[in-house]
Amino acid sequence: DVAVLPIPAPAGESPRFFLVLFRDRTAERRTEQMRTDFVANASHELRTPLASLAGFIETLQGPARDDAAAREKFLAIMRDQAARMSRLIDDLLSLSRIEMKRHLPVKTPVDLTDIFRTVEDQITPLAEELGVSIELDLPQTPVFVAGEEDELLQVFSNLVENACKYGQSGGRVTLRVSQADERGRSVVDGSVTDYGPGIAPEHVPRLTERFYRVDVANSRSKRGTGLGLSIVRNILLRHKARLLVHSAVDEGSTFTARFPACDARSVEIENSYQKQ
Ligand code: ADP
């Protein structure tokens, strides 16, 4: 954008100097475009099951009115479509809540090994249903990161659920917490590995985009919304953590959340100073 502003001249004279301002609005436009795309995608995702529901209602009121077998079948499909809309709305609300909190710092030390144990408990029924066994590889002692417990639970349940659903053929999923050194700084890694089909390299950079799916039909059949990894990304941003994806086709994938290490004692001391 260009703005041209006249610089006031002495009374009675017309201005001879002008201030020319340039403003680069590329970034603003990109954000605006992303917002528009998001609303369009979300509406489309909601409209598809809604159209299917409307279609079945019409059929049930008309041609299938007296067909008991068809009615049962259609009602089951309608229940699934309604459940899909409800999952989508839950994920959309989660995403907007998380985005609003994205700039609030996290301070409370949370033991990541505890988070992993809870996630393992929660995922057990799905893992059993899919025939996937879960392996836990955790250090004996607590490993702290600065974070918010609910959000961290959400990150790792999303990753473990994906590993079970998409990596089902691998038969097992490994959850690991470890400490490492990255360029002299200590970091904490929470990782989830599956031994399934893996992800082709061209898809990896786009995985955390909202509604991005490698295979839409496969994601839908597995009750996916396409929002799971963008929720993960936003939570990790708030935690100053990074998401690393290591994947090889036919071998499997490892999703690692890498956090700055946190000394639980020093965080407590710092907080109590702030209170005074
Ligand atoms: P969805 O709700 O579709 O699971 P996500 O944002 O969680 O959405 O994941 C985006 C896409 O990434 C999935 O649709 C799937 O194609 C792919 N994906 C995620 N995790 C894995 C994995 N462990 N193995 C293979 N593909 C995966």
Summarised one tens digit per residue, pLDDT across range 63-73 is 888 899 999 99
User: Which atom of ligand 1 is the closest one to the Cα of 223?
Assistant: 2
Closest ligand 1 atom, CA of 230? 6
| Mutation to probe ligand 1, out of 98, 162, 203, 234 (largest number of atoms < 8 A from CB) | 162
Ligand 1 — pocket residues by CB below 6 A? 158, 162-163, 166-167, 194, 196, 199, 207, 212-215, 219, 224-229, 253
Length in residues, the chain: 276
Give the pLDDT score at 275.
47
Pair 108, 146: CB distance under 8 Å: yes
Q: Which residue has the tokens 């989508």?
A: 88
Closest to 257 in 3D by CA, of 224, 227, 231, 223: 231
What does the pLDDT look like over 227-255, one tens digit per residue?
Answer: 999 999 999 999 999 999 999 999 999 99
Distance 213 CA to ligand 1 centre (A): 6
Where is average pLDDT lowest: 17-31, 95-109, 157-171, 185-199? 17-31
How far, in Å, CA of 160 to CA of 164, rounded?
6
- Chain-centroid distance, C-alpha 167: 18
By CB atoms closer than 10 A (0-12, 13-18, 19+), residue 159 is: buried
ipTM associated with this complex:
0.99
